[in-house]
Structures are given as C-alpha cells and as structure tokens.
Structure 1
Amino acid sequence: MRDPIGIEATSVYFPNQVETAASLADKTGIPEKVIIDKFGLYQKHVSDRKEHASDLAIEAARPILSKVDPLSIDVVIYFGSPHKDYYVWSSSAKISYELGTKNAYAFELMNVSSCFPIALKVAKDMLISDRSIENILLVGGCKESQIVDYNNPRSRFMFNFADGGAAALVKRGATKSEILESSFITDGSFHQDVLIPAGGSVNFATHDTVENRMHYIDVTNPASMKERLDPISIPNFHRVIQQSLEKSGLTIADLQLLFPLHTKRSMFQQLLEGLNLTEEQSVYLDHFGHMSALDPCVGLHVAIKKNQIKKGDITVAVSAGTGYTWAATTIKWNG
C-alpha cells in the first residue's frame, strides 16, 4: 500500500494596496452596489511597480519554508499566471533560487485560470511514479490587474482581475490530506475568444500595437462567446466535479466543501445549487477577486485558517481557464 500523497501546508501573500468597489465604480462606470451585489466584489489587492508575479509567488511560499527545510524540496512547480515578469522566461528558476530550494528542479505549468487542480494531479502523479521525490512545492503568482484596459468595454468587465500569491506543499506520507482523483474538459473551440492581441508572434510589439492598446486582455467577440459559453459552462463545471468524485469512489452527496474560482455571484450560486451546497460550504473570494489559477488554492487556505474544514471532509478544488478548460481535483482531509 502506497503512502498517502496530499497537501500538507498552504500559504498566501497579498500586496498591501487595495482597490475597493467604490474605486472600481469610478474606473468602470458601474455602480458600486452592482459591483458588490452582482459581480461579488468588495475589494481586491493590486501590486505596485516593484512586485511582479514571481515576487508574489516567492512571498507566498516563504511561510511554508519557514517550517520546512528548503533543501528537502525536490521539485518546484510554478502554476500561476502566464502574465509574468518577462515573456519567454521561466519564473520557476528565479523562485527556486530566491527560496533556497537548491536540491530541487523547477519548471512551469501554464493553463491560465484552470491550472491549480491540474497542478495537484501532476504533483501527485510525479510522486507516484518517482520514489525519489518526497516533497513538491506548488507556487503561483498573479499580477493580472495590470492587463485590464478600463478604456475598452470588452476588457474592463474583467475588473475583478486581482494580484496575489499562493503556495501549497504536496508530499508523500502526508498527514493532513490526501489528493484523490481529477477530471478535466477542454473545448478548444474557444481558443481565440480571450487573449492579449499583441506581444506574441502574431502581432509582435510595435509602436502601432502600443498606440492601439493591444497589450491588454481583450474578448474578440463578447456576444458570440457568451452565446456559445453560457449553455455549457455550468454543466461542464458540474461534470468535472462529479467525475473527479466518482473516480475517487464518491458521489456528489459526499461533497462537503468547494473551492472555486471567483465568478460573478449568479454563476457562483448556480454552481452551488447544482451540487446541493450552501454558500457556507464554499469559499467565495469577494474580498480578493480573480487571481488566475490561484483562486482554489487561496480558497483552500482561507478555509483552513477559518477552521472551515473538518477531519474526514471531502472537498473539491475547481476552476476554469480560457481556451477553454474546466478542471477539478478531489481532496480528502485527514487532519
């Protein structure tokens, strides 16, 4: 019988600067009450010019490595935002160096907002397949508040994009939790719907791309995307959650706690209703916003700190990322 593989510790980091619903109302023209009630956002953290995705990830991981020897970490995996310090650059090397994990090799996983449940599966599978690995540090940073163009209505509705860092220690012989099974769905028909138009090889950076504000996130055709995405988004969320539970030998009835990405409130409520969960059985990030792939990890950390998780609880980390991928991983809590 193999040793249990699970999450042994989590930690987070947030910049000091905060944007409130009132300040976002000034920037978007959307009433403060609508931002709070409909979009589910009281405030979000934003970083300054000195803090980047790698820095946010590093600061998030430090509390874990204050209790665990950095030299005991075998692998460092960055799972955060693709909007990093530099393009064509691996932040994982910097993160590993700054954290002093000298015995670890480091690499990145990038699947935008869906990546945390995927990273949990990758870490678990690595620990199963390679007995020389004992400890894997998952780290992520997000500075996506920077890529919202408040002059563009196709971009500014993503005003919930926020900044922060999150980390999780996944290990062999874990005592606090066990990572069970996962489920993923990718519908590539959405591959062209949400992107930053310039900066890559299609539209390499020029004076024109800068002047035309093409280096911010954009939705190419919002009406078309909504028409195609709305009918399948919640069903796909429910499908990956149900499949991850069933593959774990469980059912929806066994689910006690959900850690989803931040969405508008109506979508959050639809997600819970389809699972017969109450709001108290989830973590809604209305004081944090959407931080790319970090959301489920942040929600998990918040739940742990609030003693919201009990021994024996079955929980699911679930998210979705543009492209479009829906991802869920089931976690059983033992401590």
Structure 2
Amino acid sequence: MSLAVRPVVGRRAKISALGTYVPPKVLTNQDLEKMVETTDQWILDRTGIRERHVLEQGKGVSDICVEAAKKCLAARGIAPTEVEAIVIGTVTPDMMFPSTACLVQDKLGAKGAWGFDVSGGCCGFVYALQAGVKLVESGAHKKVLVCGADANTRMTDYSDRTTCVLFGDGGGAVLIEPAEEGEIGMIDFVHEVDGSGGVSLNMPAGGSLNPSTHETVDKKMHYIHQDGQAVYKFAVRKMAESTTRILERNGIKGSDLGCFIPHQANKRIITATADRLGMPEDRVIINIEKYGNTSAGTIPLAMETAVEDGKLKKGDLVLLAAVGAGFTVGAALLRWEI
C-alpha cells in the first residue's frame, strides 16, 4: 500500500468522537403492509430494509442532532461550551429559519458557538464534515461539531409505495479537532454536483418557487418526488466513480481499507460499488435493514455500527461515500483516530 497523504495548509484535522441517535418508534415492513400495497419480501428484495425509525410528533431534526451531540461530547469528555462551531447537514430542518444549527446551539447549551446548515441531500453529512474539517485545518477553530440528520418520514407520502418503504429518521454527530503528532486524520475528499438531476429527486413545494398554498398541499407537492430508475442509475455510476477516483489519486486499493462506509440508500447500490472497488464483503458496512434511508444520518449511524461490530478500529483507513438529491456526490478518505 502506498498512501500519498495530500498536503494540508495549516494543520491536520481528525474525528475525535462520535455519537448517534434514532427515535424509539419503529415502523416495520409488516406495518407498511397494512398501510400500502406492498409486502415484506418485496421491500427486502429491492432495498434490503426491514424496519426504520420514526420521529415522534412535537420533535424536529434539531432534537435528533442534540441527542447525538450529547453522546458525542460525553464520549470526548467535554462540555457543550467548548464547542466553537456547529455545522448541520440536513434537508429536513425544523423550519425554513432560523437554521437548525441555531436551534441546536441553544438546546445544547453551546454558548458562544456559531454555525450554519448544509443542504446536500444524502451527501449532507460528508459535505458538512468537510466544512468542519476546513474550519479546523485553517486554524480558525479547535473544536467543531458536525451533525448529519434527517427526519425523512416528515416528507414521505405513505400512499406512494415506491418511496414510503425507503425512508426513516435518525442521525449522528462527530467532533472535529486538530490531529495530534503522528496522527493523520482526514486525508482527502471528492465532491461533485450535477444540478440537471434535480428533476429526478426533489420536494417541489415549500420554497420561494412554489410557496405553500392549499393547491400545493392538495397536489402533494410537499412530499418526496423521485424517479427511482434515474436515481438508481446515477447513484451506481457516481458512487463507483468517486470512490475509485479518491483511492487512485492516493495510491491505495480497496483491499487496503479497514472498512467502506457508504450512504445507506439501497443494498444493491452498496454491493455494486463494493464489487467495483474489490472490497471484501466483511469490510463493507451495511445497516440499512435496521434504519432505512436516513439521508444525511446514514453515514454516522453506519460508523457506529462499524465500531460496535469491531470493523472500525483506531488506525484503520476508512472510505466514506454518498450520492443524493441535487444530484450531489461525495466521498472522503480518512484515518480513524478514535
């Protein structure tokens, strides 16, 4: 293995702690069989999902982020007041404004911190992660909290069997800090957007183009609208391209990785990418059966699964990858330093 660590102006950054949260309510495939024309086997065969979590009424994505952040900071042993900046990756904010970062800062008690939201679809976490990394690498901050979370069930049409089986709620948080001497931390990233794909996966109403009216509600324009075939084809191609690119330019092979942690959109997309990379099956993290697609929440949740299963250990090379609405594409390579 030849790892050519790309130069960083300033200092290197690392993930120093992780915390996740999913709501307690569970929606199983058997539950969906009673709600829409589908079957447990049909869902399993096409997506690999068995169940997903649903956020309770009266709660928002900020609450998911706060619970995950509490666990993250407790794992690191620091107080919320030590956090200097908060970056939230989400497409399901509590409201249009203020930002979810503002709500999290207040609920968490991170007095003195500033922050902002990143809308990257299912790439929300990897995009927010790089924003946090650059804040640390630049020397601007020493402790940046990055969250990836979504409450997709809030915008899911449960009369549409092609989409309602896919989505769940949940997320996670990581703390970004300067790497210590001898640590590598974050190595490289590849990001891309292709706005021509926006028509294939979107929520048409609720913004400035189609503000909320009785007509937009009646037309179900506040739900997820998806061209499944177009999204699937793009995701398979671009996840493979982005991961291959980042590995090749850093002089490593898929077999050199400790684990591959992809966005959990569809089991077939994950396995197709892993095959392209030559990744051993036991190093590919898949937990979609428990959570469904939680958009920006999938990668931190999969990180926790990898740690719990003993597949992610200190010193491991880790590859992250996601494709989402936009279309957005993101991949990141790092050394796990926890």
Q: Which residue is equivalent to 2:315?
A: 312
Structure 1 position 297, deviation (Å): 1.3
Please say if residues 198 and 215 of structure 1, whose CA atoms lie closer than 8 Å, have aligned partners that are also in contact.
Answer: yes
Contact 1:53–1:140 (CA under 8 A) maintained in structure 2:
no
Shift of 1:296: 1.1
What letter is aligned with 1:50? G
Answering whether residue 134 of structure 2 is matched by residue 98 of structure 1, we say: no
Per-residue Cα deviation, 1:292-319 (whole angstroms, up to 9, x for no partner): 1111111112211222113432111111
Asked if structure 1 preserves the Cα contact closer than 8 Å seen for 2:16 and 2:175, the reply is yes
- CA–CA distance in structure 1, aligned partners of residues 184 and 44 of structure 2: 34
After superposition, give the CA deviation of every residue in 1:256-306 in whole Å (9 maximum; x if it has no partner). 311111133322221211111233212212101111111111111221122
Equivalence for 1:47: 55
- Counterparts of 2:46 and 2:174, CA distance in 1: 31
| Secondary structure in 2 matching 1:118 | helix
**Counterpart contact for 1:12–1:61, Cα < 8 Å:** yes
* CA distance in 2 between partners of 1:65 and 1:310 (Å): 19
**Pairing partner for 1:78 from 75, 84, 88:** 88
Question: 1:314-335: per-residue Cα shift (whole Å, max 9, x none)?
Answer: 1111111111111000111245
- Per the TM alignment, residue 252 of structure 1 is displaced from its structure 2 partner at its CA by 3.1
1:140 paired with 2:148, answer yes
Question: The residue matched to 2:215 in structure 1 has which SS?
Answer: helix
Residues 1:159 and 1:305: Cα distance change in structure 2 (over 3 Å): same
Cα separation, partners in 2 of 1:41 and 1:328, compared to 1, 3 Å: same
Structure 1 residue identity aligned to 2:193: T
Please list the CA deviations of residues 122-160 of structure 1 after superposition, one character each: whole Å capped at 9, or x if unmatched.
22222122x24101001233111121112235xx43422
Q: Tell me the residue number matched to 2:137.
A: 128
Query: In structure 2, what is the equivalent of residue 115 of structure 1?
Result: 124
Q: 2:204 maps to which residue? A: 197
**Contact residue 53 and residue 84 of structure 1 kept, 8 A:** yes
Amino acid at match of 1:199: G
Q: Write the distance in 1 (CA, Å) between the matches of 2:149 and 2:314.
A: 29
Q: Name the counterpart of 2:26.
A: 18
Deviation (angstroms), 1:88: 3.6
Secondary structure, in 3 states, of the residue corresponding to 1:197?
coil
The aligned residue for residue 157 of structure 1 is: 163
Does the 8 Å contact 1:182/1:329 carry over to 2? yes
Residues 181 and 245, structure 1, Cα contact 8 Å, conserved in 2: no
Match among 190, 201, 224 for residue 183 of structure 1? 190
- Paired with 1:174 and 1:305, the residues of 2 have a C-alpha distance of 25
Which residue of structure 1 lines up, in the alignment, with residue 215 of structure 2? 208
Residue 27 of structure 1 aligns to a residue in which SS?
coil
How far 1:44 sits from its partner (Å)? 0.6
Quick check: 1:59–1:165 contact (8 Å CA) kept in 2? Answer: no
Separation of aligned partners in 2, 1:319 and 1:297? 12
Tell me the distance in 1 between the aligned counterparts of 2:140 and 2:120: 27
Provide the rounded CA distance (Å) in 2 between the counterparts of 1:194 and 1:161.
14
Q: 1:230 to 1:307 in 2, by over 3 A?
A: closer
Which among 172, 176, 179 is matched to residue 173 of structure 1?
179
Distance, in Å, in 1 between the alignment partners of 2:72 and 2:158 is 36
Q: Distance in 1 between matches of 2:186 and 2:216?
A: 44
User: What TM-score do you get using the length of structure 2 for normalisation?
Assistant: 0.89
Q: Is the 8 A contact 2:265 2:295 kept in 1?
A: no
Does 1:281 pair with 2:289?
no
* Structure 1 residue 231, shift from structure 2 partner: 4.7
Give the gaps of 5 or more residues in structure 1.
Answer: none
Q: What does residue 261 of structure 2 align with?
A: 259
Distance of aligned partners of 1:314 and 1:188 in 2 relative to their CA distance in 1, 3 Å threshold? same
Deviations 1:227-274 (A, max 9, x none): x55554323212211222334443334223111111333222212111
Q: CA RMSD in A?
A: 2.1
Residue equivalent to 1:30: 38
CA offset at residue 166 of structure 1? 0.9
2:17 alignment partner in structure 1? 9
Displacement of 1:214 in angstroms is: 2.0
Aligned length in residues: 326
